[in-house]
Structure 1
């Protein structure tokens, strides 16, 4: 069996913009992927609302800095064959990443460096990495989310180019979520159930390709 860690924020956790709770289990994109790939692949869903690539948020009780928590996750879930990272949305808050995709790109670079350079237990190697560019934001009239992300709607369009640059620099795979799904106008940043499932369905083949053949196991 191969193991994939889906590392992300509320889009991976499955935040439902309609209810402000969580999507049903099989509406969350990592579980859509896991179901499609079958019993030979285990997809671990590791999403957290508000998670950033590398920036602190001192107003919450849980650690949201992805760079700080990733080493623990790599250690606890090893051996990993694949790591799928979809982060960046929360970096565009002014109180965390500063509101620019440039800082998000730098944080994502650090995420990749940690995953590639982590001291895995002897006999295990670093997982193959797939970076997923978050979908661009859309306009919303929801007051809180408009205050949090409204300034960054145009900036979010640059996720694709930023994530592409990181993927090319480190020789890892890349997928643009904006090609297959779109954010909900209810809050401008999250995915409704249809779009969450659509993303999962679109990621099945890229993740299958990432993992390679059944004989390509961790050494």
Structure 2
């Protein structure tokens, strides 16, 4: 039996690797799930499931894809189990005013996703995976210094995400990491990341994930 671990990276455009400067996508090797897998040096494979606009548990019908994370996560768990770890990096889209707009709501959504990951009926003796909740980088001012982040999102509300997510992780018995400590949003739109900052998240997660996998 292989001892290579399996990790699901569940997120939005930050996990997808959206490149706000080109309107395209960062190179595969620059996306944080790819960087994380490379840093784990063959001890784990990372399945990247990132979708632009995805929320924790809220509907947003502004695109053809289903953006409600709580509705799609069970399908992905069923597709990819057995899993050793689920890394959840969501919340930037919850803070869109027309979706939810508050860190309080995003935190409730994160708790729901952790619950789904921990209680899904994996079957065949498969144990539930560990869960790592990652709070996204803070929103920032856009080019010019006086424009708010895209979608009318609040910088002040984004600053409340890390404390709310930390509390959610403690409540759910999950691990926590604050990506705002290692990455900053691009001034192009105040939300998305350039290649260097998305790589920084993957690099910073390597020791965190190594420790979690060692404890499993």
TM-score bucket (shorter structure): over 0.9
What is the alpha-carbon root mean square deviation over aligned residues?
1.7
User: Are residue 91 (structure 1) and residue 128 (structure 2) matched?
Assistant: no
CA displacement at 1:149 relative to structure 2: 3.1
**Equivalent runs, 1:54-203 vs 2, <5 Å:** 54-97=57-100, 99-141=101-143, 146=149, 148-150=151-153, 152-203=154-205
Q: Secondary structure in 1 aligned to 2:24?
A: coil
**49, 53, 57: which one pairs with 2:52?**
49
Unaligned residue ranges in structure 1 (runs of 5+): none
**9, 32, 43: which one pairs with 1:6?**
9
Unaligned residue ranges in structure 2 (runs of 5+): none
CA displacement at 1:39 relative to structure 2: 2.1
| 1:76-131 superposed Cα distances (whole Å, 9 cap, x missing partner) | 0000000000000000011212x111110111111011111110112101101110
Task: Return closer, same or farther for 1:101/1:196 CA change in 2, 3 Å cut-off.
Answer: same
Give the helix-richer structure, 1 or 2.
1
**Equivalent runs, 1:13-52 vs 2, <5 Å:** 13-52=16-55
CA displacement at 1:145 relative to structure 2: 7.4
Query: Is the contact made by 1:83 and 1:127 (CA closer than 8 Å) also made in structure 2?
Result: yes
Q: Secondary structure in 2 aligned to 1:211?
A: helix
For residues 170 and 67 of structure 2, the distance between their equivalents in structure 1, rounded to whole angstroms, comes to: 26
| 1:47-93 superposed Cα distances (whole Å, 9 cap, x missing partner) | 00000000001121001000000000000000000000000000001
- Say how many residue pairs are matched: 212
CA displacement at 1:38 relative to structure 2: 2.0
Query: Is the contact made by 2:56 and 2:70 (CA closer than 8 Å) also made in structure 1?
Result: yes
CA displacement at 1:17 relative to structure 2: 1.4
Task: Return closer, same or farther for 1:147/1:135 CA change in 2, 3 Å cut-off.
Answer: closer
Q: Secondary structure in 2 aligned to 1:88?
A: coil
Query: Is the contact made by 2:141 and 2:148 (CA closer than 8 Å) also made in structure 1?
Result: no
After the TM superposition, which segments of 4 or more aligned residues of structure 1 sit over 3 Å from their partners? 144-147
